Structure 1
């Protein structure tokens, strides 16, 4: 079997899909994208295609090594995301070739269902208590919210207490039998995170995500020593090498993204590394159906899985929704806040190719917001 083509599709709301076709008629799908840089990643995929066309798609590990290292200059979100989508598609082809789900090829399932969480509140969280209550009523057992809008380097007591009050409102709405994740989205300075985290402790978050920016992960150790809240990071770390130092810092939850961190192959290795530090996995995935399907194949195969992000109904979705691209949305019908394991081959989903082609004619030019403080200076989104 040989690869005969790689074709990418920029589709709403902000995704990039990849289709790899073979000379035996087996097709694999992947989702290589950096949100806001879809065309850049698309160009990277096209460059990598020069190597892949004519190759055996089942030599997944060899291709991964060549694609990540064969160009001499390595790493970064664009290259690792391009490789991630290719890797997903190759695993999809392998599963379809052997008529087995990817998790079976990774050593077989270790669980029958994967716990999911739902997003509430948007970028600048508001009315979070009602939204949280609605997600619990819909069957989810955990919700995630942005902890704040933009933050100054060291916020006023009033703005600090607003963050705490929002978290408190959600905890009251969902009660002690459900979980709450607070995402600081890298918006807090180390000093501000050190101030906030102890104030959030009474509300027992499942974890606090990105308490500081990825370039400040060296500070996670001091933050972990200052709070009892489990700390999480990893959506902007792109390889096991990026995780190497942070895993031993007191981090509780690793969050690599299967569409950014080198795909199924690399995220599986990151999970194995994390296990040696007693760190659990909550893979990042506010993306489309292919990325979620790939994430779930890992969730069923890795022993230190904690919970999975998913983007059904997330505030980024305008002009397209995750289920719009599936022939059968069954794999993403969550029961009791969980995704049930299936034995469908490959990634376990069937992409509606007509819908992809139709929506690719619309495309997108999604860019993340650029935020500024009251004094006009740039601040983290």
Structure 2
């Protein structure tokens, strides 16, 4: 079997793009992958076109060797654009190999260790009474783990950290009182805080209020997270932006975090994800995958989650309380994972078990999407 074509498709679904990739072979078997680098699809598509130059004619079954060649084939190894491209290709190659062998992708990863994949949902806000009511609705529907909504004060262009943490801490305390001690509660600050702000936020709440704090500060400097670790006792969920096992290395080896927010569409695909999972298992760090966009990512991550022992919850943006249902467009994607209550059942179909209406995708014209550019009240730039 030989690779005959690699086709990147920036695809508008819901309110932004998904970059999906199709790899075709001379035996008529094809596979689908997805990149997770939202908002920079043209850069990733360009990298895929470079890789295509030497992948055409190669054996798609040699997934590990092709991964190494893609990663090492340029002097400047790695980086988020390149590993996002490698991720999409790697996932598509797993899809091809599963179909060729007549087995689901999880069999290629060591076999299934669980029959369904628990998820966590996210309240859509705003922070306050409505957030608590949404959380109660999620509990009634079967969710036992969820993220609450940090206060943002309604302006989609302004984020003032100190103002947010004061109100958010108050409502996190009220949420824990209202929802009880058994539900797992976390919050995602999306890299928007400093070490001092994140510490202040946690110290405003009684110990045990939150079960995890996701991405409170930027992750370029592990030492900053180590400093924060000394100041607070809330478990950290970190890693959705990491683009290789090497970026995970200091966090795992120094016992900085407790949950790996790995993104199979950014870290280097399933090949790299399994390496991070094994390393994490040795340090008792659980996998808590990032999964904010397309159903190809969801399908690949479900297979990954089925095959690893150290797993907690998979992010889902398809809960009834969220406005992200458009990202799983059934007019484009068929056979995609569908929530069964608060879990995804693991597909036994060959490959990923998902198909794409390629003709619909081809008819689209590219539309740019840009993440919000947030400012503080003084006009300075802050993270989205």
- TM-score > 0.5, shorter chain as reference: yes
Cα distance in 1 for residues equivalent to 2:48 and 2:308 = 28
Deviation at 1:316, TM superposition (A): 7.2
Cα distance in 1 for residues equivalent to 2:40 and 2:117 = 30
Cα distance in 2 for residues equivalent to 1:188 and 1:268 = 30
Deviation at 1:352, TM superposition (A): 3.3
2:105 to 93, 99, 102: 102
5+ long unaligned stretches in structure 1: none
- Call closer, same or farther: CA 1:10–1:271 in 2, change over 3 Å: same
Q: What secondary structure is seen at the aligned counterpart in 2 of 1:214? A: coil
Deviation at 1:172, TM superposition (A): 4.2
**Residue equivalent to 2:318:** 312
Q: What secondary structure is seen at the aligned counterpart in 1 of 2:31? A: strand
**Residue equivalent to 1:27:** 30
- Call closer, same or farther: CA 1:201–1:18 in 2, change over 3 Å: farther
Cα distance in 2 for residues equivalent to 1:200 and 1:24 = 60
The correspondence of residues 229-308 of structure 1 with structure 2, limited to 5 A, is 229-247=234-252, 248-308=254-314
Deviation at 1:327, TM superposition (A): 2.1
Q: What secondary structure is seen at the aligned counterpart in 1 of 2:204? A: helix
Cα distance in 1 for residues equivalent to 2:360 and 2:211 = 37
**Residue equivalent to 2:334:** 327
Q: What secondary structure is seen at the aligned counterpart in 2 of 1:57? A: coil
1:56 maps onto 2:53 in alignment = no
Question: Retained in 1: the 8 A contact 2:295–2:328?
Answer: no
Deviation at 1:220, TM superposition (A): 1.9
Deviation at 1:110, TM superposition (A): 1.3
**Residue equivalent to 1:45:** 48
Question: Retained in 2: the 8 A contact 1:101–1:345?
Answer: yes
- Please, what is the CA RMSD of the aligned residues? 2.2
Q: What secondary structure is seen at the aligned counterpart in 1 of 2:221? A: helix
Q: What secondary structure is seen at the aligned counterpart in 2 of 1:81? A: helix
**Residue equivalent to 1:77:** 80
Measured against aligned partners, the alpha-carbon deviations of 1:315-373 in whole angstroms (never above 9, x if no partner) come to 674865354432234x32323x1112221111122333344334xx1443111000111
**Residue equivalent to 1:346:** 351
Measured against aligned partners, the alpha-carbon deviations of 1:128-165 in whole angstroms (never above 9, x if no partner) come to 22222232233322222343436556x26xx4320112
TM, length-normalised to structure 1: 0.91
- Call closer, same or farther: CA 1:87–1:316 in 2, change over 3 Å: farther
**Residue equivalent to 2:4:** 4
Cα distance in 2 for residues equivalent to 1:81 and 1:219 = 26
Deviation at 1:119, TM superposition (A): 2.0
Q: What secondary structure is seen at the aligned counterpart in 1 of 2:340? A: coil
Cα distance in 2 for residues equivalent to 1:54 and 1:320 = 33
5+ long unaligned stretches in structure 2: 153-157
Question: Retained in 2: the 8 A contact 1:58–1:94?
Answer: yes
1:208 maps onto 2:209 in alignment = no
Deviation at 1:203, TM superposition (A): 5.0
Question: Retained in 1: the 8 A contact 2:290–2:314?
Answer: yes
Cα distance in 2 for residues equivalent to 1:143 and 1:266 = 27
TM, length-normalised to structure 2: 0.90
**Residue equivalent to 1:174:** 179
**Residue equivalent to 1:120:** 123
Q: What secondary structure is seen at the aligned counterpart in 2 of 1:74? A: coil
Question: Retained in 2: the 8 A contact 1:220–1:249?
Answer: no
Cα distance in 2 for residues equivalent to 1:62 and 1:68 = 10
Q: What secondary structure is seen at the aligned counterpart in 2 of 1:215? A: coil
